[in-house]
Amino acid sequence: MKNVSEIVELITQRTKHIGAITPEFSMKINDDLKSLLLTEIKADFGWLWHEKIITPELLVDCFTQDELSEAGIFVKGTHDTGLAKIITCGNAIVKSFIPESSVCYNDSKVISLGGVHRAYDNSTVELLEEGVIYAFNHATAITKKGESVIFQHDQSSVVAHKKTVVVRNNGVK
């Protein structure tokens, strides 16, 4: 069975052979491949990140900000999003006012109404309402109001509202 690149190459060669390929067709193939690649990167982001295969610099070098944002991956700058599942890394700040889930790496920050979030490295998750935060490494978990739960691991820090339950070092990763 051929992989996607081999199939694209085969179709491209056949269309070039009969003179039917257009610049628009080439651009469409490249856009579809990038979108597919970003889908796979997002699906395996945790492993790719921890193995240092993916870095903020690599993402910025290989994809446009729009391509990354459409895939739900935010690397730099400040963003408002309505996406349900996001990944942040680098120094991105993402504000989402719908309950969602996020995974945060590096020095990134997510501000959300609620949802379930994981924070690694030096990232920060700030919940404005109710939700759950898993904080690892040197991450920061902040709750503003509502009933929330923070699972604090490693050397993470917590700034908790009075209705927040903090569970320290429960071994779940």
33-90 pLDDT tens trace: 788 888 888 999 998 898 888 899 999 988 899 999 999 999 999 999 988 899 999 9
pLDDT digits (tens, 9 = 90+) for 120-130: 999 999 999 99
pTM of the model: 0.81
- The Cβ of residue 51 has, within 10 Å, a number of other Cβ atoms equal to 9
Q: Measured between alpha carbons, how far is 147 from 92 in angstroms, rounded to an integer?
A: 27
- With tokens 């997002």, the residue in question is 42
**d(C-alpha 117, C-alpha 122), whole Å:** 14
